[in-house]
Amino acid sequence: MIRVGIVGGSGYTAGELIRLLLNHPDTTIEFVFSTSKAGEAITAVHKDLIGETDLTFCSRITPSVDVLFLCTGHGNSTEVLKQHTISEQTKIIDLSRDFRLSGQNRFGHRSFIYGLPELNKEAIKEGENIANPGCFATVIQLALLPLAHDSALTNDVHIHGITGATGAGSSLSDTTHFSWRANNVSVYKGLNHQHISEIQQSLNQLYSSFGNKLNFVPVRGNFSRGIFISAYTNYEGNLAEAQSLFTEFFKESPFVYHSHQSIYLKQVVNTNKCLLHLEKENGQLLITAAIDNLLKGASGQALQNMNLMFGLEEDAGLHLKPTHF
């Protein structure tokens, strides 16, 4: 069994990760570390796990687990590694953005691989440390990487994306209260979202000369979870050629599905899937894509990376039914 530790165990992504690990055939949770909840039952915070576990949050990190998941806030993973001794044999999967960008992907002797399996699967299999991608970054990259791989991304890209309230984390703020979110939408970080840099980095990995603009407008949605994006750009080929391109690129990706029918958000909520749909109109290719921000956009992808790192089936523990109704 793979011995697992979790740091930062009280947030939404940690709750989903705990749920997945409890039902994974090859893992056992050694500890869930939380500075604010130490001594409390995990089910006191993650109430959906009542009857699933008797674990309590702890105040001490066991340094020698097989894999350590860092579910801390952005900027805090570096502090955890500074303040706690972690065995050199322990693999690390970081869900923050601390180590995602080249030039920022090292801590001491550790070097972090960008953990998008559909882009870096072979490197992840050999990796010791993984920087899990951001949620918006994941779905936007999956929508654009086939075009970059074919050197067909030759113009600016326009992207509109809407995300559920869980994307803002479990801490309350003015824009996460029900009275604000209900029957409401709003733009935030328009054209300046923090995930643009990692998207650009991955596109350049496949298509080094891509230097066009990624015009991304993120929107807060009035629902709990999920991301739905629409991206469009000029495309010289026809629709059939684009569809063939996407099908070929993702032929060995067990969670990415190219649909010939229009897609909608409920198809992916509570799953590790990404659904994609293509349309061609007036010289432009429109790509719509959807994921669950807490699973394929965070904890599900982290578990997918763990499976690859330990030589397991990539989809182990991730056969999940969507919350469709």
Q: Would you please indicate which residues are annotated as catalytic (active-site) residues?
A: 135
Please say whether the beta carbons of 103 and 276 come within 8 A: no
**CA–CA separation, 107 vs 78, rounded Å?**
8
Q: Phi first, then psi: give them for residue 42, nearest 5 degrees.
A: -60, -35
Closest by alpha carbon to 303, among 14, 32, 58?
Answer: 14
Please say whether the beta carbons of 11 and 293 come within 8 A: no
What lies within 8 Å, CB to CB, of 310 at 6+ separation is 2, 26, 66, 67
What lies within 8 Å, CB to CB, of 304 at 6+ separation is 117, 255, 272, 314, 315, 318
The string over 255-290, giving b where at least 16 C-beta atoms fall within 10 Å of a residue's C-beta and e elsewhere, is bbbbeeeebebebbbbbbbbbbbbebeeeebbbbbb
**CA–CA separation, 219 vs 208, rounded Å?**
29
Please say whether the beta carbons of 161 and 139 come within 8 A: yes
DSSP annotation of 315 reads T
- Lookup: tokens for 28: 């056992």
Place of tokens 């994307």: 167
